[in-house]
Structure 1
Amino acid sequence: MARRKWQGYAGPEVPPAAGTLAVENTSGNRAEHDVAPARSNREQLGTALRFLLGVSGRTVGAVADQAGIPAASLSRLLAGERIPEWPTVFTLATVLHGRPEELRTLWESAKGRTPTAAHSGTTAVARFHNAMRGLHLAAGRPSLSDLGLANGHGAHKQRLLEAALSGDSMADWDDIALLVHHLGGHPGHFRRLWEDVRYSIFTLSVKAVGHGAD
C-alpha cells in the first residue's frame, strides 16, 4: 500500500548555495555565524534516513528485509550514493516510523525535480512545513543552540525561529533563509515553497476583501 501512495513532479534542479550568512542581531550590528557546509541533495536524503534508522535502533539488514529491498541498495541510499524512486523512499520512511511527507522535498531535490505550484493554501502550507521538517531531520534535528542561533535575538525572534525550525510557523524569508543555511540546505529549494504560501495568503486576503465589498 505504501508503494502506491506517491505522485511525481518534474523540473530543473535549483543551483546550490553555501558559505556564511550575515544576519542582524538585536543591537543592530551585523554578526557572522558559521554556516554548516551545504550537503548535496543525495546526502541530505541519506542523512535523514540514517537519522531515522539510528532512532529506530534497528539494523540495515532488518529494515531492508522489511522494506523488501537489498541491504546493499539501502546502504548506498543511506550513503547518498543512489536515489531510488519515491515508492521506495515512502516505504522506508514508513518502516522506520517516520513521516514520508517530510522526506518528499529532499527526494525531489535529490532527483533534480522541483514541485509545481500548490493548488490551494492548505497544500502550500503543508508542503512548506514538511520541507522544513525534512531539512531539520536531515541535520539531526538540532536546536537553535546547536546551530549557534540561540543568542543575539530577542525572545520574540527566538520563538519565531524555533517555530520555523520545526516547520510550525511562516516566518519572513530572511529568517527562513537563515535557518536553511545553518541546517546545511540550499535556500533556492525553499524559496518557491515559501512564495507559494505567501501567494496563497495574499489571494485569500483579496478574496475576503472582495466578499466583504459585496
Structure 2
Amino acid sequence: MLARASEIPLQDLARRARCSPSYLSRILSGQRVPSWAITERLAKTCEADPAIVRRAWETEQLRRRPPRSTVDDRRDIDSLAGVSDRAQALRKLATALRTLHVRAGQPTLQQICVHSRWRLHAPQVTAILERDEPCDWPTLVLLLGILGGSPDYFRPLRQAATEHPPA
C-alpha cells in the first residue's frame, strides 16, 4: 500500500530498498514477506514510520510460522530466559501476550469477550494486549485459556513483572 501510494517507480524503489525489482514485485504482490531490513528501508523510502510498519511486519511473520508443539516437560518452560529486571519482564510479558494473540488467529475483542462469557470486557482486553502493565492473575489465566496459552509459562513471567523494585 505504501509503495503504491508513494508512486515511486518499481526500479527506483527496489534500488533504494537494496533488493532486486523481481523480489520487490513478489513482496508487493504478497508472495513474499521481506526481512525487517528491507521492510524498514521500504518504509523510510515511502516516508512511513518504521515503528508502525514493524508491528504489521511482526504480525505477518508470526502468522506465517507453523504452530509450536505443546510443552510436555516443565523443564522446557523457561519464560525468564534473558530477563534480569522488572522492565525486561514487563516487555517480555507484553510481547508474549501479543504473540499468543497472533498465534491464536487474532480473535477480535468481541470474540474474546463472548468466549469468556462476558467475564472479560473489550477495554480490559485492549489494556492487557496493548499496555505494558500486567493484569491480575485470575484475569490473565482466563485470557490464556481463551488464547491457548500455558499458565506455567506465564506465571513466572508475570511474577517477575509485578515485583516491586527495591526501595
Question: What is the TM-score when the length of structure 2 is the normalising length?
Answer: 0.51
Contact 2:110 2:122 in 1 (8 A): no
The count of corresponding residues between Structure 1 and Structure 2 is 110
2:4 is matched with which residue? none
What does residue range 127-206 of structure 1 map to in structure 2 within 5 Å? 127-147=92-112, 148-149=114-115, 152-153=118-119, 158-166=122-130, 168-199=132-163, 202=164, 204=165, 206=166
Pick 1 or 2: higher relative contact order, CA cutoff 8 A, min separation 6. Answer: 1
Map 1:1-214 → 2, pairs under 5 A: 58-59=30-31, 62-63=32-33, 97-98=57-58, 112-114=76-78, 115-116=80-81, 118-147=83-112, 148-149=114-115, 152-153=118-119, 158-166=122-130, 168-199=132-163, 202=164, 204=165, 206-207=166-167
Structure with the bigger percentage of helix: 2
The Cα RMSD (Å) is 3.6
TM-score (norm 1): 0.41
Counterparts of 1:57 and 1:140 in 2: how far apart (Å)? 22
- Aligned counterparts of 2:161 and 2:82: Cα–Cα separation in 1: 10
| Structure 1 segments (4+ residues) deviating >4 Å | none
Are the equivalent residues in 2 in contact too, given 1:117–1:196 (CA < 8 A)? Answer: no
- Given that residues 124 and 193 in structure 1 are in contact (C-alpha distance below 8 angstroms), is that contact kept between their aligned partners in structure 2? yes
**Separation in 2, partners of 1:153, 1:135:** 20
Q: Deviations over 1:149-199 (max 9, x none)?
A: 576348xx6522331134544110111111011011211111111011112
CA contact (8 A) 1:177 1:187 kept: yes
User: What amino acid does structure 2 have at the position aligned with 1:58?
Assistant: G
Q: Determine what percentage of the aligned residue pairs are the same residue.
A: 22
Bigger radius of gyration among the two: 2
Q: In structure 2, how many angstroms separate the alpha carbons of the residues matched to 1:146 and 1:177?
A: 17
Gaps (5+ residues) in structure 1?
A: 1-55, 68-93, 208-214
Relative to structure 1, the CA distance from residue 113 to residue 152 in structure 2 (aligned partners, 3 Å threshold; closer, same or farther) is: closer
Contact 1:161 1:175 in 2 (8 A): no
